[in-house]
Structure 1
Amino acid sequence: MAYKSIFTVATNAALVPMSVASAARIAEANDAHLDILALGVDRTQVGYSYVGSGAALMQVALERAEADARELEKAAKAAIAAENLDLRAGTEAAVAQMGAVADLIATRARFADLVVLPRPYGKDQGPEAEAVVEAAMFEGQAPVLVLPGKELASPSPKCVVIAWNQSREAMAAVRKALPFLKSADLVDITVVDPPNHGPERSDPGGMLCQMLVRHGVRAEVSVLAKTLPRVSDVLARHVRDRNADMLVMGAYGHSRFREAILGGATRNMLEQAEVPVLMAH
């Protein structure tokens, strides 16, 4: 398996150089095609309007979203040119209302091997940033590499930490991270407070380690106690201790009745991560 289709979405002009440059480097390293969607978002939520004014409000909002999309597309093309790479890439501008963002992103992400996006949290990020990440992972069923607010140091991480808890989501993330894992010098399978009962009770992480070694991955297992209030805190400290370049973990969602569906552990990890986090569901 290799990443041959890389996809990224531009919604914030300030973050375009970072996210596009990182995605471009991964695409170049994998001889992949990079697709960039410049997305202008119509954020109007018209609860009521006076007779005759509703259409005018909607038209103004649409024109603003179209202008944003054009500006983002221009920034994306400039970011690609600045990388000066031998790269196959395409850009497309689109406009969507907030309610339609998920469907648009899911359709595009479904046909990508890897989606590269900036961290969806921060003072400069709008609600559409989280919607894009969620749609790519949950509806698009694509692995998402979330950048921690800075450009990717290298398209091939040297040390990768896997947050392993025997879950379906964690296994999905590991399988989709294999191109990164196989190129790494070391992969640390990290288990925090393993259960006393279960198929791996006598050898936490052992079966996953065996599977990865058969793929040529240089893997080892670290079993950690939960010495901090949250598992995400333990993982973040371990990533720093190992001087890791990437974290791989499953993404967990709450009920669709909630507006924000990213689970607590997933959100906590993304908010404090200092390295790129590859997630899948």
Structure 2
Amino acid sequence: MAYKSILTVATNAAQIPLSVPGAARIAEANDGHLDILALGVDRTQIGYSYVGSGAVMMQVSLERAETDARDLEKAALAAIKAEELDLRASTEAAVAQLGALAELVAQRARFADLVVLARPYGNDQGPEAEAVVEAAMFEGQAPVLVLPAKGLATATPKTIVIAWNQSREAMNAVRRALPLLKSADLVDITVVDPPSHGPERSDPGGLLCQMLVRHGVRAEVSVLAKTLPRVSDVLARHLRDRNADMMVMGAYGHSRFREAILGGATRNMLEQAEVPVLMAH
């Protein structure tokens, strides 16, 4: 399997030089098709207002969002052209209110093999950035490759670290990452502080390693002690020690009503990772 349908969502012009070229390089490397959703966000929050003013505010906000969508689409097309790649790509400009963008993003992500997005944290990122990541993963059920601040160094990573904790989320991420794992020179299955009474207590990561080797993956296992306060800190240090190009991990969510909000551990990893992180739920 290869990634034949790659999706990226543009909501912030400042992130387009990061996300669009990265997604384009992955699409070219997989002989795939790149879909770009240029999403203008209507941030209208109508509460108490003078009679008639609510409709005026909504119209002005909608027109601004439509203009933003068209501008984002133009910027995305310019970013693709600048890459000078032999690439099949299409763009779509759309508008959604902040509270309703999840449905639109999820519907597009559901038919993508991979969604490529910029890191949703930072001073220039609005609340819609994290909402897009969450919608693609939790509701769209798509694997999401989150790019660090320095962007995508290579579309064919040579050293990949898997954060393995025996969970269904981690297993799903591994399966979704197989096209990349099979082409890597080394895949490091990293287990941090494995439970002494767990099902893999005698051979942490061994069954996963066996499965991947049968797929032709060059895999090995690293068992690490939790010598830092957070598991994400241990993983970040291990990524640097391995000089890794990418990380694969399960995405965990927390919500009173549904698993739709990134959990603290997932957020910590994304905030400090210096390499792209492929996540799935």
Using the size of structure 1 for normalisation, the TM-score is: 0.98
Q: Cα deviation per residue 1:136-155 (whole Å; 9 max; x = unaligned)? A: 00000000000001221110
Deviation, structure 1 residue 198: 2.1
* 259 and 189 in structure 1: CA distance in 2 versus 1, 3 angstrom threshold: closer
* 217 and 260 in structure 1: CA distance in 2 versus 1, 3 angstrom threshold: closer
Residues of 2 paired with 1:149 and 1:95: CA distance? 26
- Asked if residue 18 in structure 1 is aligned to residue 13 in structure 2, the reply is no
Deviation, structure 1 residue 259: 10
Q: Percent identity?
A: 86
- Asked if residue 101 in structure 1 is aligned to residue 101 in structure 2, the reply is yes
Deviation, structure 1 residue 52: 1.4
Contact 2:135 2:260 in 1 (8 A): no
Contact 2:139 2:260 in 1 (8 A): no
Residue 166 of structure 2: aligned partner: 166
Residue 128 of structure 1: aligned partner: 128
Residues of 2 paired with 1:9 and 1:242: CA distance? 31
Contact 2:114 2:144 in 1 (8 A): yes
Deviation, structure 1 residue 53: 1.1
Q: Which amino acid aligns with 1:175?
A: R
Q: Which amino acid aligns with 2:121?
A: Y
Deviation, structure 1 residue 257: 4.2
Q: What SS does structure 2 have at the residue aligned with 1:91?
A: strand
Residues of 2 paired with 1:210 and 1:257: CA distance? 37
* Structure 1 residue ranges (4+ consecutive) displaced by more than 6 angstroms after TM superposition: none
* 39 and 159 in structure 1: CA distance in 2 versus 1, 3 angstrom threshold: same
Deviation, structure 1 residue 256: 4.3
Residues of 1 paired with 2:46 and 2:260: CA distance? 21
Q: What SS does structure 1 have at the residue aligned with 2:243?
A: coil
Deviation, structure 1 residue 258: 8.4
Alignment of 1:157-236 (within 5 A): 157-236=157-236
Residues of 1 paired with 2:54 and 2:211: CA distance? 59
Residues of 1 paired with 2:99 and 2:259: CA distance? 11
Deviation, structure 1 residue 263: 0.7
Deviation, structure 1 residue 266: 0.2
Paired positions, count: 281
Residue 81 of structure 1: aligned partner: 81
Contact 2:16 2:76 in 1 (8 A): yes
Stretch moving more, 259-268 or 188-197:
259-268
Q: CA RMSD in A?
A: 1.1
Residues of 2 paired with 1:75 and 1:105: CA distance? 19
Residues of 2 paired with 1:220 and 1:146: CA distance? 24
Residues of 1 paired with 2:249 and 2:240: CA distance? 16
